[in-house]
């Protein structure tokens, strides 16, 4: 199986030993504590689940700035985005303290992790501007990722953590949330050797489904891991339970047995385009995928990124050998009226736009909201029904 990023073995930060976990929870009752941001909590979940291997906790100021500037830590580890615990005010917390990190997303704010604070440092306005410019390629107040990043504060608490639970992800998505450890085990048990991963934060329509089939066929893969984001999105995005139901129905009906696995991970969307695409590749390698599909406007939002910037970054900015996972580059896929099947648009040079079945997201949402199923060339009827039922429930 493919090695994890940065180490020979996966090193998840979750405390699996029940007696140690119980002892840390009891210890936490006597520790100073902070309710962290949703982004910090999501980072803890990803660290605990092994997706952020080989990181041992939250980055220092120097590491975060180095990662933003050069995509590597001060020790030389390749990493595409800062992994931080940011607060507005650290209060009396200082280097050497042991603190409890409390979950902002669960009622009662239970302890999510125990942290050994190695440094308390402040970012300047210039530091924040540099990081947003490098990571998000934007620095304005309209970009949802920039807004979320700047809202966390400028004081950085760094140091190793021990994760005690997986926030709301395990309880709310028991059939879907999986750690990198669990997915590696699943891949091994299924006997898959070559595995392609597909990232989604949306329901999958026919073009997405066929793209996965194309990737599996062309790469001669044994299996597909559909890996959906279960964390916070922007306003208007379809909730995770609805996406989950729609994707599961598609896999049940249109994929052969033991060829596809539907899973999810606990993280908040960054909307960081190319840099987030690289982060996605890192943690797909950690979960055992050998290949990863990067399509048009991967992890993008609005018009901030070029259509294929998330592919170009792997050629122009990711050092050779930095990652073992391979990228499957995909163009926009759509149903061809001429060929009577879904194709990558770049592979149909004799087509005009009128030769494809193309519907905007706005148009699809409008149709679904009015109880009208998109054409079968765009969406499987069983998937469309689940989405129509969701939009009907909003009325």
Instruction: Give me the active site residues, please.
Output: 201-202
Give the dihedral of Cα atoms 227, 391, 271, 269; nearest 10 deg. -50
How far, in Å, CA of 247 to CA of 111, rounded? 32
How far, in Å, CA of 134 to CA of 136, rounded? 6
Q: Which one, of 76, 15, 7, 10, lies nearest residue 44 by Cα? A: 15
Enumerate residues 6+ apart whose C-beta is below 8 A from 278: 71, 80, 81, 313, 314, 318
A 10 A CB-CB count for 70 gives 14
Tell the burial category of 201 from Cβ atoms under 10 Å away from its Cβ (0-12, 13-18, 19+).
middle
> CA torsion sign, 103 to 106 to 107 to 113?
negative
User: Which tokens in the block code for residue 163?
Assistant: 């994760």
CA distances from 39 to 45, 86, 192, 274, 394 (A): 10, 9, 33, 19, 28
Q: Answer whether 385's CB lies under 8 Å from 373's CB.
A: yes
Q: Which one, of 180, 224, 231, lies nearest residue 201 by Cα? A: 231
**Coil, helix or strand for 31?**
coil
């Amino acid at each position: 199986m493919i090695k994890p990023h940065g180490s020979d073995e996966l090193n998840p930060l979750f405390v699996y030993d029940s007696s140690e976990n119980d002892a840390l929870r009891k210890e936490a009752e006597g520790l100073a504590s902070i309710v962290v941001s949703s982004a910090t909590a999501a980072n803890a979940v990803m660290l605990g689940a092994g997706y952020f291997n080989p990181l041992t906790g939250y980055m220092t100021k120097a590491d975060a700035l180095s990662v933003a500037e050069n995509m590597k830590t001060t020790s030389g580890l390749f990493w595409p985005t800062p992994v931080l615990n940011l607060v507005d005010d650290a209060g009396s917390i200082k280097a050497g303290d042991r603190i409890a990190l409390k979950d902002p997303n669960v009622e009662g704010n239970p302890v999510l992790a125990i942290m050994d604070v190695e440094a308390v440092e402040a970012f300047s306005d210039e530091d924040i501007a540099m990081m947003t410019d490098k990571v998000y390629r934007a620095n304005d107040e309209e970009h949802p990722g920039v807004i979320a990043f700047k809202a966390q504060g400028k004081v950085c608490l760094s140091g190793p953590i021990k994760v005690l639970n997986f926030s709301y992800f395990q309880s709310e998505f028991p059939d879907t949330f999986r750690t990198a450890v669990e997915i590696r085990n699943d891949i091994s048990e299924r006997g898959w050797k070559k595995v392609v991963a597909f990232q989604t934060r949306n329901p999958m329509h026919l073009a997405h489904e066929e793209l996965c089939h194309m990737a599996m066929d062309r790469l001669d893969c044994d299996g597909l891991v559909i890996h959906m984001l279960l964390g916070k999105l922007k306003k208007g995005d379809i909730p995770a339970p609805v996406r989950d139901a729609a994707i599961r129905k598609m896999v049940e009906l249109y994929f052969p047995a033991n060829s596809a696995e539907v899973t999810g991970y606990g993280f908040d969307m960054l909307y960081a385009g190319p840099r987030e695409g690289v982060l996605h590749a890192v943690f797909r390698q950690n979960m055992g995928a050998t290949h990863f599909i990067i399509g048009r406007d991967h992890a993008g939002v609005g018009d901030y990124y070029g259509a294929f910037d998330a592919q170009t970054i792997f050629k122009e900015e990711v050092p050779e050998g930095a990652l073992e996972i391979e990228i499957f580059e995909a163009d926009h896929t759509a149903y061809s009226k001429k060929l009577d099947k879904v194709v990558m648009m770049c592979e149909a040079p004799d087509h005009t736009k009128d030769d494809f079945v193309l519907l905007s997201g706005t148009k699809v949402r409008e149709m679904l909201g009015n109880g009208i199923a998109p054409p079968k060339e765009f969406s499987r009827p069983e998937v469309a029904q689940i989405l129509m039922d969701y939009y009907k429930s909003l009325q």
